[in-house]
Amino acid sequence: AKERGKNNFQFYSSKLNGLSSRKMELENSLRKALEQNQLLLYYQPQVEIASGKTVGVEALIRWKHPEYGFITPNEFIPLAEETGLIVPLGKWILHQACEQNKAWQDEGFIKVPVAVNISVRQLQDDDFVSAVGNILKETGLDSKYLELEITESVMYNIERSTVILNELKKLGVKISIDDFGTGYSSLSYLKHLPIDKIKIDKSFVDDIINHSNQGAIVKTIIDMGHNLNYTVIAEGIETDVQVNFLKKHSCRIGQGYFYSRPLPVEEVSEFFK
């Protein structure tokens, strides 16, 4: 029994070492990726459902690894959050997105907001608000063309989040709640936050075609959103059945492969035309 215990310990400790060294390796290569321009932003159009007009774009990060090819954000954003690298990485993302949106505007394309995903860790960093202010100044983008997508996890530190969100609103940026309906969120708190928009999570949009509840949750979120004066956007739309349902229930904006996949910069220009 003693033997086995010892072996078990060795097994676990080498497994743990293996895991943490893999993490460190990934963290190091992520730092390098940032320095060596392996990171880039794709943009997914957001479309007004009734008119088909493009009314926004969401920036989504991509890591083009020289050996492994594209690595998806779900694989490295959580690590960046855990290690704190999300703070410098997040600033880089914001700068890049604002600069690009300003460039499109200067090229004469229609002016629409760019939505940028913000991790809670990043939002609650001490100089987040001043960083956003500086980035807007540096890039010359009018603050009304920047939208920040945050998740319901901001509710865990509601006092601090409220202060930060109010400061961001003073800058003139828009606030959107991402993955709405999936997290811990209390409507009574939500009501007190300066929110402009809610994004119905893809899982509920999927339910429209699954007929499991005939889209009851989607209908409920749209109505609630309108009653609270939020703009409502549905994400992950893939079929015309979903579009028709959302149109019928007056959801204003849609995003998903039905309209367009996330696109590299050059192709967004084409989409705008």
# binding residues, ligand C2E (CB under 6 A):
19
Which one, 200 or 222, has the nearer CB to ligand C2E? 200
Shortest Å distance, C-beta 127 to ligand C2E: 17
Shortest Å distance, C-beta 44 to ligand C2E: 6
Shortest Å distance, C-beta 237 to ligand C2E: 6
Contact between 179 and ligand C2E by CB under 6 A: the answer reads: yes
SS3 253: strand
Instruction: Classify strands 253-254 and 174-180 as parallel, antiparallel or unpaired.
Output: unpaired
Q: What angle do CA 226, 232, 234 make, to 5 degrees?
A: 140
Query: Per this entry, what is the length of the chain?
Result: 273
Give the number of other CB atoms < 10 A from CB of residue 128.
21
Residue 161 binding: pick among ligand C2E, Ca ion, none (C-beta 5-8 Å cut-off by kind):
none
**Per-residue binding letters, 223-252, with Ca ion (x by CB under 5 A):** ------------x-----------------
- The owner of tokens 């609103």 is 169
- The owner of tokens 């995903």 is 117
| Choices 30-38, 133-141, 216-224, 230-238; region in contact with ligand C2E by CB under 6 A | 230-238
Cβ 272 vs Cβ 104: under 8 Å: yes
Residue 236 binding: pick among ligand C2E, Ca ion, none (C-beta 5-8 Å cut-off by kind):
ligand C2E
256: left (phi over 0), alpha (psi -120 to 50) or beta: left
Contact between 243 and ligand C2E by CB under 6 A: the answer reads: no
Single out the residue of 80, 176, 179, 249 in contact with Ca ion (rule: CB under 5 A). Answer: 179
Single out the residue of 63, 149, 165, 243 in contact with Ca ion (rule: CB under 5 A). Answer: 149
Sequence-distant (6+) residues with CB within 8 A of 14 are: none
Shortest Å distance, C-beta 246 to ligand C2E: 13
The one-letter code for the residue type at 54 is T
| Continuous segment of H or E residues that includes residue 51 | none
CA separation for the pair 16, 185 (Å, rounded): 35
Residue 72 binding: pick among Ca ion, ligand C2E, none (C-beta 5-8 Å cut-off by kind):
ligand C2E
Shortest Å distance, C-beta 261 to Ca ion: 14
Contact between 73 and ligand C2E by CB under 6 A: the answer reads: yes
Contact between 46 and ligand C2E by CB under 6 A: the answer reads: no
b/e 153-182 (16+ beta carbons within 10 angstroms → b):
bbbeeeeebeebbebbbeeebbbbbbbbbe
CA separation for the pair 272, 118 (Å, rounded): 25
Interface contacts to ligand C2E, rule CB under 6 A? 44, 59-61, 72-74, 77, 93, 117, 119, 178-179, 236-238, 256-257, 262
Interface contacts to Ca ion, rule CB under 5 A? 117, 149, 178-179, 235
